[in-house]
Amino acid sequence: MGKERMEWDMETKCSATDFYEVFKGKAHHMPNACPRLQSIELHEGDWETEGHVKLWSFIADGKLEKNKEKLSVDEANKVVTLELLEGTVFEQFKNFKVIMQAIPKPKGGKIKWAFEYERNDGAIPHPEKYKDFASHLTESLDDYLVKGA
C-alpha cells in the first residue's frame, strides 16, 4: 500500500473567506454549527496561531471518534491542512492528512477537500466515513454562517 488521495468539491452559500477563517482560527465555534461534532479542545498553542494542536471528538459512521491534529495554513491560497497526530483514525491508517481550500466565488464559495492517507492494509476501506463527516460539517457550517450565527 502506498499513499492515496481522495478529493471532492462542495459549493457554499456563505463566503469562502468566512468558511476559511473559522477553520483557520475559530474552530471552537464549529460544534455550535454541527451536531455530529461534539467538541474541539485546544491542546497546544492558541486558537489563532499556526501550529496549534486540537483534539476533535465527533461522530463518524455512528461511532465516536477522537483525533488530535496539528494545523498549518497557506494564507495566500486559503488552505488549511490538518495533520493527524494520534487517535481513532490510526486504527485503520498509518498516516492521515486533511486539506481544505476555500475558493471565493462571486456568490458563495467552493470548498475543495482532500484526504492524503495510507491504509494499514488493502482490506481497510477508503475513508468514506470521514468524507461523509467533512461533507456534513461543510453543510452545517455553511448554514450556520449564512444565518449569521
Contacts of 82 by beta carbon, 8 Å cutoff, 6+ apart:
69, 70, 71, 97, 98, 99, 100
Scan for cell 467533512, then name that residue. Answer: 134
CB 31 within 8 A of CB 37: yes
Predicted TM-score (pTM) of the model is 0.94
Reduced to 3 states, what is the DSSP secondary structure of residue 123?
coil
pLDDT by residue (tens digit) across 27-54? 999 999 999 999 999 999 888 888 899 9
pLDDT-derived band at 149, boundaries 50, 70, 90: low
Cα distances (angstroms) measured from residue 31 to each of 5, 8, 37, 39, 79: 27, 23, 5, 6, 21
**How many whole angstroms separate alpha carbon 102 and alpha carbon 77?**
8
Closest by Cα among 9, 37, 44 to 22: 37
Reduced to 3 states, what is the DSSP secondary structure of residue 44?
strand
Q: What are the structural domains of the chain? A: 4-146 (3.30.530.20)
For residues 1-13, give the mean pLDDT.
94
